[in-house]
Structure 1
């Protein structure tokens, strides 16, 4: 169980870190996604900061478990919102959001199983 927890946590941190960098450097992909979903472009850096905070929280959670659990919970909420945003506009390009959501859920569940709620 411990190996699965470490593996999924690191995978989640890497994926979310890469996504955060993409949002924060002003790459075109997050901007087009925001346009498609009707989200103003001024919120793209804010979303990047939230992803970066989740990344740091997951990494810190390896040393302080409650931080990882809180970060994973925040990422579950973030990607639930992303899936809802895709569904709201009728987008079929939803696989990425579902994969990120699944990783966040797996990190949360494994963290809770490994360390308990607090």
Structure 2
């Protein structure tokens, strides 16, 4: 596993963890768009939990490679779903945000993170 992949996984863990905390703390810049996209408020805690699990999994993947691979795939799928949600809401200017959050995990996986 390359140093670059590990660093990217840890950066990704921090970013996704920050995103999870933002949902849990109901940061206005996160929850207002969620409401505008039509995401039910009842889902917010579950979405935050999924992000938190992804962050923990990316960090743990440094020590347990299989967990890192599963977490990186989960983070990629989660944020792909976020892109779909944003596009369905026709908020095209917001598409880069979930892509930016997914990028470190996806690139780390491509570089051999977990292998």
TM-score computed with the length of structure 2 as normaliser: 0.91
Q: How does 1:9-28 map to 2 (within 5 A)?
A: 9-28=9-28
Q: Which moved more, 1:21-30 or 1:38-47?
A: 21-30
Q: Which moved more, 1:95-104 or 1:79-88?
A: 95-104
Deviation at 1:35, TM superposition (A): 1.0
Instruction: Quote the RMSD (CA, aligned, Å).
Output: 1.5
Corresponding residue number in structure 2 for 1:32: 32
Please tell me whether the aligned partners of residues 2 and 112 of structure 2 are also in contact (alpha carbons under 8 angstroms).
no
Structure 2: gaps of 5 or more residues: none
TM-score computed with the length of structure 1 as normaliser: 0.88
Q: How does 1:10-89 map to 2 (within 5 A)?
A: 10-89=10-89
List structure 1 segments (4+ residues) > 6 angstroms apart after TM superposition.
none
Deviation at 1:32, TM superposition (A): 0.9
Structure 1: gaps of 5 or more residues: none
The count of corresponding residues between Structure 1 and Structure 2 is 114
